[in-house]
Amino acid sequence: MALATVASGVLDLGRVAHIAVLGPMPQGLPDFRVPTASVDEILRLLPGAIIIALLSFADTSVLSRALAQRGGYQVSQNQEMVALGAANIASGLFQGFSISSSASRTPVAEAAGSRTQLTGLIGALAIALLLMFAPTLLQDMPSAVLGAVVIAACLSFADVPGMLEMYRLRKVEFALSVISFLGVAFVGVIEGIFITIGLALLVLVWNAWHPHWAILARVDGAKGFHDIARHPEGRQVPGLLLFRWDAQLFFANAELFREQILAAVAAAPTPIRWVVVAADAITDVDITAADVLLMLHGELDEQGVTLRFAGMKGPVKDRLRHYGTLDTLGHDIFEPTVGSAVNRYRSLHDVDWKDWDEP
């Protein structure tokens, strides 16, 4: 940087070769001023402010996580957001730009040997001294030199082995990472981030739309009840269907929940009397899903099948009670565990069943 600046100044490259240079900076420190804005100005600024806040949050979170992984320490996201907010308030009071962590300045500082936050204070002091006493010192520095320094430092964050490992372990996340990079590089920072966030939300909805479910069976020598697809040697209690649903119930997957239970009842090796849903993983039930539960209850009732739940969390029960769903399903359809539901079923029905751990 020093050599390029001296060469540019001596040869007057900015004028002779039309190379872009920094030019003189304004002298002195910015004045303290409480910003004022009319309602119309605030409304015009609000969309941009929201985007800046989103970008600042994303940039800070990603960069801090990458540095924490590299340094082997943990980061408090809440503390970072408080610091970022305080820094932006201070910047606004001195007519500064909105700020966040920097994916360019931080690698440059790290490449120079930075290890603590003291680097930022020293950098701020150096800039203040430059503005007050030597605003023209760097006026001949070619802009391309700054770009080269930033690119060289940021290359240290290009984790090619990590990307290859991500491709091997989870191709969906690899695809999102590539799309994010291409979007930022060729479309724009804001557009690229929004595209990636939108696709990530679609993946989230798709996963919730097609959750894992299982029919449970008892496996000799193993405690609890297990997925019969993974343990085909498992035994099912005659007349009892244990169905586990590993997601919340909402409008996108409620119909699939109903269809899978009805299909499992139809395919059971013995006529089903009870369907017990292992509901430990069900963290929420929306109104649409509650209506589907009522429909499922009616269809099972027509077949003489009782619908019950095991391990359902209290807040989910409260929600069903608030909907009025339990007025139809019944308020006594819950068991604390799958095991207690099996014991209750066996106490009410004479079935030919002996468990492996019973004397």
112 plus 131 within the same structural domain: yes
Same domain as 224, residue 199: no
Question: Which of the pair, 206 or 335, is modelled with greater confidence?
Answer: 335
CATH at 306 = 3.30.750.24
Q: Do 168 and 128 belong to one domain?
A: no
Does the pLDDT at position 357 exceed 90?
no
Task: Check whether residue 152 and residue 163 sit in a common domain.
Answer: no
Same domain, 305 and 172: no
Q: Could you say which of 112, 139, 156 is where a domain stops?
A: 156
What pLDDT does residue 267 have?
95
Asked if residue 105 belongs to a domain, the reply is yes
pTM of this structure: 0.65
Q: Cβ neighbours of residue 270 under 8 Å, at least 6 residues apart?
A: 236, 238, 239
The answer to whether position 59 is within a domain reads yes
What are the strands of the beta sheet with 240-245, ordered from one edge? 225-227, 213-218, 240-245, 274-278, 306-310, 334-335
Position of tokens 């996340």? 173
Q: Both 43 and 149 in a single domain?
A: yes
What gap in Å lies between CA 240 and CA 71, rounded to an integer? 53
Last residue of a domain, one of 171, 194, 209: 209
147 and 171 fall within a common domain: no
Question: What is the predicted pLDDT for the residue at 26?
Answer: 86
Residue scoring higher pLDDT (342 or 71): 342
Residue 234 is assigned to a structural domain of this protein: yes
Looking at the structure, do residues 62 and 166 belong to the same domain, yes or no?
no
What pLDDT was estimated at residue 62?
A: 76
Whether 357 is covered by a domain: the verdict is no
Q: What is the percent of the chain where pLDDT is above 70?
A: 98
Q: Same domain, yes or no, for 73 and 167?
A: no
CA pair distance 118, 323, nearest whole angstrom: 56
Q: What is the mean pLDDT of residues 122-146?
A: 91
**Per-residue confidence (pLDDT) for residue 246, from 0 to 100:** 94
* Digit-coded pLDDT (tens) for 60-118: 887 787 778 777 888 888 888 898 899 999 999 988 888 887 767 777 787 788 888 88
Number of domains in the chain: 3
Is the pLDDT at 288 greater than 80, yes or no?
yes
pLDDT of residue 197: 84
Task: Please name the residue that has the structure tokens 């605003």.
Answer: 135
- Choosing from 193, 209, 225, the residue where a domain stops is 209
pLDDT digits (tens, 9 = 90+) for 204-263: 888 888 899 999 999 988 889 999 999 999 999 999 999 999 999 999 899 999 999 999
pLDDT for the residue 328: 95
Mark whether 122 and 251 lie in a shared domain: no
Flag whether 355 is in a domain. no
Is residue 358 domain-resident? no
Domain membership of residue 356 (yes or no) is no
Q: What one-character-per-residue DSSP string does 118-184 give? A: HHHHHHHHHHHHHHHH-TTTTTT-BHHHHHHHHHHHHGGG--HHHHHHHHHH-HHHHHHHHHHHHHH
Domain range enclosing 115: 2-156
Q: Is residue 354 part of a domain?
A: no
Instruction: Compute the distance between CA of residue 166 and CA of residue 180 in angstroms, rounded to an integer.
Output: 14
Residues 171 and 152 in one domain: no
Same domain, 59 and 199: no
Lowest mean pLDDT across 9-13, 318-322, 344-348, 351-355: 351-355
